[in-house]
């Protein structure tokens, strides 16, 4: 074998760490001893070659590792060692990623490897003792950085982090704290809120879509609130049938559900406007429709428990929205716009810290690079979308009439091509 051939083999072995002939199980076994994680192989479909679940030992507080640790669930799907890595920063639980058929759309488009990281304090990635003060965007970003550090030892190609909604927020935070971890970001329908009652949502709901649609939604809400005594018994029956309880008075829970209706309707936009029931409908039909759109369980004790970590983060750092009661004054019990402070864990008082999101905003507008943001025009979360006014090295796409389900594959051909040309341009450098 000549000298040039030997040098080429050495170079590519150094670049990729191994050849395709090496066993990924053995590589993971070596890494697990170095970085303290366990792993097991999962079933996979035809897209990926192998799939694994990793339980990575993470510090509860990265600034003080002696405070204990927890196991974070990570699902790794192997396509090809030389291919890019799509790094999914899930904002919630990640059980769906264990499905043998699950392929992120970017993994499919780029023919890439895939890793999905369950967010700390969600799903199975929960410390034995819930010390809420360690559920911060900084600690979550450090979780992601450590996983990148581990897997970059065997995946030497380009890395793209991505996430949807709260996962998209998580991708932003990851880039803020560790901008060099990945080569590009694709964040879907992710808000950047500045308080626990970001009032930009109110203006959005006053102007979204067309006046006929907005009037139909308002009329439904107004009827449900004005004649609450007619509908509350059906609401109560539905609640009892589902064994739901609430941290607030049932009447107030009903009102909050009705106030949620307009946000929920536009978030998903799955129901035709002309299917919204009118006053001629029965009370049962009206309440059933309310549940179908807004969901009677999401602010119940049971619903809050499922999303407790989200509500804590919203109240503590990442912000949220409230309800504008000015159009309904005189027919609601609230004296001021209600917010979600009642969802705090164990009744604790959580003081919102505006500084983290202000810093993220400054980063996005002035320092960030190679980031793509995708929104739906009719999605209320687009009202608190990122502002790219001062940054030309980012891309923001808003799908006309799009909802919270806006993705690359349902963009127009023009917008899809724009995204992919931009992304591939970054990845080629």
Please list, in sequence order, all residues whose beta carbon lies within 8 angstroms of the beta carbon of residue 270, skipping any fewer than 6 positions away.
Answer: 403
Report the Cα–Cα distance between both ends of the chain, in Å, rounded: 32
What is the arithmetic mean of pLDDT over 406-427? 98
CA 361 – CA 355 distance, rounded (Å): 10
Task: Read off the pLDDT of residues 16-40 as tens digits, 9 standing for 90 and up.
Answer: 444 444 689 999 999 999 999 999 9
Question: Is pLDDT above 70 for 129?
Answer: yes
For β-strands 85-89 and 37-42, DSSP reports them as: unpaired
Same-domain status, 243 and 277 = yes
The per-residue pLDDT for 9 is 36
Domain that includes residue 235, residue range: 200-347
Q: Is there a contact between 194 and 358 (Cβ–Cβ < 8 Å)?
A: yes
Task: Read off the pLDDT of residues 295-314 as tens digits, 9 standing for 90 and up.
Answer: 999 999 999 999 999 999 99
Same-domain status, 399 and 297 = no
Same-domain status, 204 and 324 = yes
Same-domain status, 311 and 340 = yes
What is the arithmetic mean of pLDDT over 377-393? 95
The per-residue pLDDT for 4 is 41
The per-residue pLDDT for 22 is 64
Same-domain status, 181 and 73 = yes
Same-domain status, 288 and 402 = no
Helix then strand count (H, E) for the chain reads 14, 9
What is the arithmetic mean of pLDDT over 329-348? 95
Q: Is there a contact between 103 and 91 (Cβ–Cβ < 8 Å)?
A: no
Beta bridge partners of 74: 54, 117
Same-domain status, 164 and 65 = yes
Same-domain status, 35 and 162 = yes
- Write out the E strands in 79-141: 85-89, 113-117
Per-residue pLDDT band for 5 (boundaries 50, 70, 90) equals very low
CA 225 – CA 231 distance, rounded (Å): 9
Same-domain status, 29 and 139 = yes
The angle at the Cα of 302, spanning 301 to 305, to the nearest 5 degrees, equals: 85
Virtual CA dihedral for 397, 403, 407, 413, nearest 10 degrees? -60
pTM: 0.93
CA 2 – CA 91 distance, rounded (Å): 52
CA 408 – CA 160 distance, rounded (Å): 15
Question: Is pLDDT above 80 for 10?
Answer: no
Asked which of 11-25, 54-68, 85-99, 308-322 is least confident by mean pLDDT, the reply is 11-25
Mean pLDDT of the chain: 94
Asked which of 47-56, 341-350, 373-382 is least confident by mean pLDDT, the reply is 341-350
Q: Is there a contact between 375 and 382 (Cβ–Cβ < 8 Å)?
A: yes
Domain boundary among 330, 347, 364: 347
The per-residue pLDDT for 429 is 84
Same-domain status, 155 and 217 = no
Question: Is pLDDT above 80 for 13?
Answer: no
Number of domains in the chain: 2
Domain boundary among 282, 316, 347: 347
Same-domain status, 204 and 91 = no
Domain boundary among 292, 315, 347: 347
């Amino acid at each position: 074998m000549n000298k040039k051939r030997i040098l080429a083999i050495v170079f590519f072995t150094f670049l990729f760490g191994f050849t395709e002939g090496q066993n990924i199980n053995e590589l993971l076994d070596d890494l697990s001893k170095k970085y303290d994680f366990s792993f097991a192989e999962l079933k996979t479909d035809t897209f990926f070659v192998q799939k694994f679940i990793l339980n990575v030992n993470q510090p509860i507080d990265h600034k003080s590792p002696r405070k204990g640790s927890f196991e974070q669930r990570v699902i790794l799907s192997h396509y090809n060692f030389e291919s890019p890595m799509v790094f999914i920063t899930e904002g919630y639980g990640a059980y769906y990623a264990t499905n043998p058929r699950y392929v992120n759309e970017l993994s499919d488009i780029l023919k890439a490897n895939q890793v999905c990281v369950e967010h700390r304090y969600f799903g199975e990635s929960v410390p034995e003792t819930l010390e809420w003060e360690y559920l911060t965007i900084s600690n979550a970003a450090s979780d992601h950085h450590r996983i990148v550090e581990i897997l970059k030892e065997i995946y030497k190609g380009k890395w793209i982090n991505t996430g949807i909604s709260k996962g998209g927020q998580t991708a932003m935070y990851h880039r803020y704290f560790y901008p060099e971890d990945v080569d590009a970001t694709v964040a879907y329908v992710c808000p950047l809120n500045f308080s626990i009652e970001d009032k930009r949502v109110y203006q959005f709901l006053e102007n979204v879509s067309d006046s006929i649609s907005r009037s139909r939604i308002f009329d439904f809400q107004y009827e449900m609130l004005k004649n609450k005594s007619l509908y509350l018994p059906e609401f109560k029956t539905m609640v009892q049938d589902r064994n739901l309880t609430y941290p607030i008075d049932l009447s107030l829970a009903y009102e909050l559900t009705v106030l949620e209706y307009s946000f929920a309707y536009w978030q998903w936009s799955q129901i035709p406007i002309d299917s919204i029931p009118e006053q001629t409908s029965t009370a049962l039909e009206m309440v059933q429709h309310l549940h179908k759109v807004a969901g009677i369980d999401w602010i119940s004790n049971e619903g809050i428990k499922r999303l407790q970590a989200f509500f804590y983060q919203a109240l503590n750092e990442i912000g949220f929205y409230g309800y504008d009661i000015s159009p309904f004054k005189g027919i609601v019990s609230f004296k001021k716009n209600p917010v979600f402070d009642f969802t705090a864990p164990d009744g604790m008082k959580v003081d919102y810290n505006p500084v983290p999101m202000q810093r993220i905003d400054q980063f996005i507008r002035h320092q960030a690079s190679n980031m793509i943001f995708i929104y739906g025009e009719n999605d209320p979360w687009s009202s608190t979308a990122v502002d790219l006014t001062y940054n030309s090295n980012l891309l923001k796409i808003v799908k006309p009439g799009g909802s919270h389900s806006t993705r690359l594959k349902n963009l127009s051909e023009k917008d899809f091509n724009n995204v992919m040309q931009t992304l591939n341009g970054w990845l080629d450098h």
